[in-house]
Structure 1
Amino acid sequence: DTIISIIYTLLIVICHNAQGQKNQLLSVAPDCPSLEKGDIYTQSEFLGRLAHQCRYDRLLLPTYQTGDTVYVHASAYVYFIQPAEAHDLNFKLHFLLQLRWTDPRLAYALYSPERSRIIGESDLRERIWVPHLYMSNEQSSSLMGTDSKDVLISVTPDGEVLFSRRMQAVLYCWMNLQKFPFDDQTCSMNLESWKYNASILRLMWEKNNPVRLSSELHLTEYSLLDFWTNESVVRGDIENMRLGGGRCNVNFL
């Protein structure tokens, strides 16, 4: 009887927690659009309900209610490297940047169990929270086309967000030319968190193959000997407008 009572109590607690999570979204405000029977809505209609301003604020961190650290996993696929120009001290990259994180507010498995994922472009980006990152050694950067073409976002039923963005960037590369032309140069791309420090947002590389090079990538005047990734934390520096955020680096030799 004791064992049965314990099991019964655990089941009640589990059901209560699940219902509590569901009610949290359903009862945010009386005039919030319902999420019940989410499978009957189109993707656009359901997203409008899920990310409605009555229950979702895109300016707030995904973990603002718990205060937990947001983990953002980065990866890159490099299409093209234009060799560094010695007199300009820079090099150009064309690449696909992917960022992955979990936003519990976007978890919709309870409301739309038949929906495998939500996919959108710039319209979806404008509705949800996206980490504000930048390349600290950039000279200039831009999308490789229009927003709608070169930004793609997907959301899974458990709230995992995958943000993909095709970019081109001109990056500074500080070279030592004392042994030119018999020299080796290391050029880097440094990706940093702009708005949040490392205790709030943790930026890290994906564990497996975080940076991949296109099989069609060829350099005419230089040889790419190696490349590697590493992570670091940038020390806070108010004078230079840095809050001490995380940094992901990829280095090309």
Structure 2
Amino acid sequence: MLLHFLSNQQSAEDLARVPANSTSNILNRLLVSYDPRIRPNFKGIPVDVVVNIFINSFGSIQETTMDYRVNIFLRQKWNDPRLKLPSDFRGSDALTVDPTMYKCLWKPDLFFANEKSANFHDVTQENILLFIFRDGDVLVSMRLSITLSCPLDLTLFPMDTQRCKMQLESFGYTTDDLRFIWQSGDPVQLEKIALPQFDIKKEDIEYGNCTKYYKGTGYYTCVEVIFTLRRQVGFYMMGVYAPTLLIVVLSWLSFWINPDASAARVPLGIFSVLSLASECTTLAAELPKVSYVKALDVWLIACLLFGFASLVEYAVVQVMLNNPKRVEAEKARIAKAEQADGKGGNAAKKNTVNGTGTPVHISTLQVGETRCKKVCTSKSDLRSNDFSIVGSLPRDFELSNYDCYGKPIEVNNGLGKSQAKNNKKPPPAKPVIPTAAKRIDLYARALFPFCFLFFNVIYWSIYL
């Protein structure tokens, strides 16, 4: 190690052979009496550090952690009178110096006030660029990757616009010793950057001063840049709004299904509610737990309520459907309607003519719950007692114990032999659906779409 150290040292003869105005000698002369522990203009005016940033990449905002990540070139420029190049220097107006010399110079103690984590790049060499100008100006450029906090206001999520800051502050020097100043013109250069969920434009960048006061130590210089990011709602339109809207519409199909078809209507309503609840749970896991209601929450809750309301509507229909009083009232209404239709219908039917021109007469008979009818086309038919058992008669036939000419028929405990021949088991009677149940479905077909449309008009007018 000692041999290696000696081999890197220049002998007195070697130094004598180097011209006095060479770059090496000039740099050595600059650092002979230079103390990096003392700031420029010590006990004098504060050092003005001009700052500018070039953004290489801009990561998308993370809603769960409320931060964003950037990769930048941070550039700082200040004047150090001790580093003025001598008059005998015949080179260019600026020296490009090896980054190792950066450690030998005084430098501002800049840090990012809202930083969560950061790393310095050193592949393949330390990513530092150092210039020393003839008048003593020093320019340092370094490449950094930083994760910065960005408190989000998600009230309008996902139609929100976020303002994320980057604050550059002095750690140890007060405003009496150091001041940060944004470079005139465009202090933050931003290439065309495409973010997956946000739009960021150069004209939306704002600059400001955020000098802070800390009790007991004083004021510390601080500058900030504010990025305005507008969220793109396309992803949420296709991934959240459209599917949930279709699920709500799907729940309305139950209004067109027969009220007594519970095997079809109940699963449809349950599927709608469970699908919407699952969507709410999935999105809640992807977003921070905030105490206020977001725009997306309003939409999902409304969709969930509409889906649940369609299920409740069918429960009300079922109550109407299984209410004995309403069922009996509906049966009475139907019987009354059939009786009214039968009086007019029988009068017309008694003298109807069949396809052969023969008069046709209808006779009806009811024994207990058994309904019978007979079609008479001749006098012999009138004298017979052949009645056919049917489960139900047309609504225009009056169920009464009269023959084809309206004469009363004596009813025995059982049917005649001729009747027994035609004795067939009647088909099951169709369930009686109360008018109120039908009316609820009818109203729901119009009311639910209208209310949902009205909600959409209000919702999008507020949040868009």
What range is the shorter-chain TM-score in?
Answer: 0.7 to 0.9
The equivalences for 1:172-251 within 5 A come to 172-215=149-192, 217-225=193-201, 226-238=204-216, 243-251=218-226
Whole-angstrom distance in 1 between the partners of 2:133 and 2:124: 22
Whole-angstrom distance in 2 between the partners of 1:92 and 1:144: 15
Whole-angstrom distance in 1 between the partners of 2:149 and 2:215: 21
TM-score of the pair, normalised by structure 2: 0.43
Q: In 1, are the aligned partners of 2:26 and 2:86 still within 8 Å (CA)?
A: no
Tell me the alpha carbon deviations over residues 103-133 of structure 1, each in whole angstroms, 9 at most, x when there is no partner: 0000013242435322224311111111110
Distance 1:110 1:147, change over 3 A: farther
Distance 1:123 1:227, change over 3 A: same
Whole-angstrom distance in 2 between the partners of 1:236 and 1:104: 30
Tell me the alpha carbon deviations over residues 137-169 of structure 1, each in whole angstroms, 9 at most, x when there is no partner: 000011233494311110011101111011110
Tell me the alpha carbon deviations over residues 162-200 of structure 1, each in whole angstroms, 9 at most, x when there is no partner: 110111100000111122111111111100011111121
Q: What is residue 21 of structure 1 aligned with on the other side?
A: none
Whole-angstrom distance in 2 between the partners of 1:153 and 1:245: 26
Whole-angstrom distance in 1 between the partners of 2:158 and 2:94: 52
User: Number of paired residues?
Assistant: 211
Whole-angstrom distance in 1 between the partners of 2:154 and 2:212: 28
Counterpart of 1:246, as a letter, is T
Q: In 2, are the aligned partners of 1:121 and 1:148 still within 8 Å (CA)?
A: no
Counterpart of 1:185, as a letter, is Q
Q: In 2, are the aligned partners of 1:194 and 1:243 still within 8 Å (CA)?
A: no
Q: What is residue 47 of structure 1 aligned with on the other side?
A: 27
The equivalences for 1:49-88 within 5 A come to 49-52=29-32, 55-64=33-42, 67-88=44-65
Q: What is residue 142 of structure 2 aligned with on the other side?
A: 165
Tell me the alpha carbon deviations over residues 18-61 of structure 1, each in whole angstroms, 9 at most, x when there is no partner: xxxxxxxxxxxxxxx99xx642x3x3443122112xx1101101
Counterpart of 2:161, as a letter, is D
Q: 2:76 aligns with which of 77, 99, 110?
A: 99
| Other structure's SS at 1:220 match | coil
Whole-angstrom distance in 1 between the partners of 2:40 and 2:125: 24
Q: Which ranges of structure 2 fall in alignment gaps of 5 or more residues?
A: 1-14, 229-464
- Could you tell me how far 1:73 is from its partner in structure 2? 0.3
Q: 2:133 aligns with which of 156, 162, 173?
A: 156
Q: Relative contact order (C-alpha < 8 Å, sep 6+): which is higher?
A: 1
Whole-angstrom distance in 1 between the partners of 2:72 and 2:154: 27
Distance 1:105 1:186, change over 3 A: same
- Could you tell me how far 1:207 is from its partner in structure 2? 1.1
The structure richer in helix per residue is 2
Whole-angstrom distance in 2 between the partners of 1:44 and 1:209: 35
Q: Which has the larger radius of gyration?
A: 2
The structure richer in strand per residue is 1
Whole-angstrom distance in 1 between the partners of 2:184 and 2:157: 36
| Residue 110 (structure 1) aligned with residue 90 (structure 2) | no
Distance 1:38 1:211, change over 3 A: farther
| Other structure's SS at 1:123 match | helix
Distance 1:128 1:221, change over 3 A: same
Distance 1:38 1:210, change over 3 A: farther
> Aligned residues: percent identity?
25
Q: Which ranges of structure 1 fall in alignment gaps of 5 or more residues?
A: 1-32
| Residue 141 (structure 1) aligned with residue 141 (structure 2) | no
| Other structure's SS at 2:82 match | helix
Whole-angstrom distance in 1 between the partners of 2:149 and 2:180: 22
| Other structure's SS at 2:26 match | helix
Counterpart of 1:95, as a letter, is I
Counterpart of 1:62, as a letter, is P
Q: In 2, are the aligned partners of 1:121 and 1:149 still within 8 Å (CA)?
A: no
Whole-angstrom distance in 2 between the partners of 1:147 and 1:171: 26
| Other structure's SS at 1:51 match | helix
| Other structure's SS at 1:186 match | strand
Whole-angstrom distance in 2 between the partners of 1:166 and 1:139: 17
- Could you tell me how far 1:87 is from its partner in structure 2? 0.3
Whole-angstrom distance in 2 between the partners of 1:93 and 1:107: 35
Whole-angstrom distance in 2 between the partners of 1:47 and 1:148: 22
Q: In 1, are the aligned partners of 2:26 and 2:85 still within 8 Å (CA)?
A: no
TM-score of the pair, normalised by structure 1: 0.77
Whole-angstrom distance in 1 between the partners of 2:98 and 2:151: 36
Distance 1:148 1:243, change over 3 A: farther
Counterpart of 2:223, as a letter, is C
Q: In 2, are the aligned partners of 1:191 and 1:249 still within 8 Å (CA)?
A: yes
What root-mean-square deviation, in Å, do the aligned CA atoms of Structure 1 and Structure 2 show? 2.2
Counterpart of 2:200, as a letter, is L
Q: In 2, are the aligned partners of 1:198 and 1:245 still within 8 Å (CA)?
A: yes
